[in-house]
Structure 1
Amino acid sequence: MATYKQIQEYVKQKHGYVPKTCWIAHMKEICGLNPKVSPNRNSVDQRVHPCPLGKQESIKESFQYFNML
């Protein structure tokens, strides 16, 4: 499984922006990859910064590139 840094680097090279780690975790959750819960997360049931709809496809593409899906 790719690290968050590897995913961020891939998305930066392919799409020109660096996704937030919370966006990656949200997309992992959506795709059923069971991310670890961050120790500084306020609530396990709620996301402060969910992944924007316009960014989801590029993050999902990175999961496919790293054979995570």
Structure 2
Amino acid sequence: MVDSRKVKVDFSLEDMDLAEFKGKATYEQIKAYVLEQTGLKVSSLYIAQIKKKCGLDVSENFNLAKSENARQPQCTPEKEDAIMQAFRHFGII
């Protein structure tokens, strides 16, 4: 039982198996990598489109369009290549 609301926990990463984290990158990391390498700005929507195209898991989108026939911009081939390059860099594909 702890009397305080703050608890300090120390642990070492030396003995942990980090293999499960390989191939994981946040959308922000992918965006930053693409911007740094190519100078292109890509959106989370474009990254999700390319993940779907590769058959990778994509999280559920909670910001759904209000109308059923809402148009969605499509990723350009140039940005698709840059995102694929980022996926390879992070070991996602």
Match of 2:50 in 1: 27
Structure 1 residue 58 corresponds to structure 2 residue 85: no
Structure-2 separation of matches of 1:63 and 1:19:
13
Does structure 1 conserve the Cα–Cα contact (< 8 Å) formed by 2:40 and 2:79? Answer: no
User: Equivalent residue of 2:32, what SS?
Assistant: helix
Q: Larger helix proportion, structure 1 or 2?
A: 1
Q: TM-score, normalised by structure 1?
A: 0.86
- After superposition, give the CA deviation of every residue in 1:37-60 in whole Å (9 maximum; x if it has no partner): 2101228xx871221122111100
Q: How many residues align?
A: 67
Structure 1 residue 18 corresponds to structure 2 residue 41: yes
Match of 1:38 in 2: 61
Q: Could you list the structure 1 runs, at least 4 aligned residues long, displaced by more than 3 angstroms after superposition.
A: none
RMSD: 1.7
Structure-1 separation of matches of 2:72 and 2:80:
16
Gaps of 5+ in 1: none
Q: Which has the larger radius of gyration?
A: 2
Gaps of 5+ in 2: 1-23
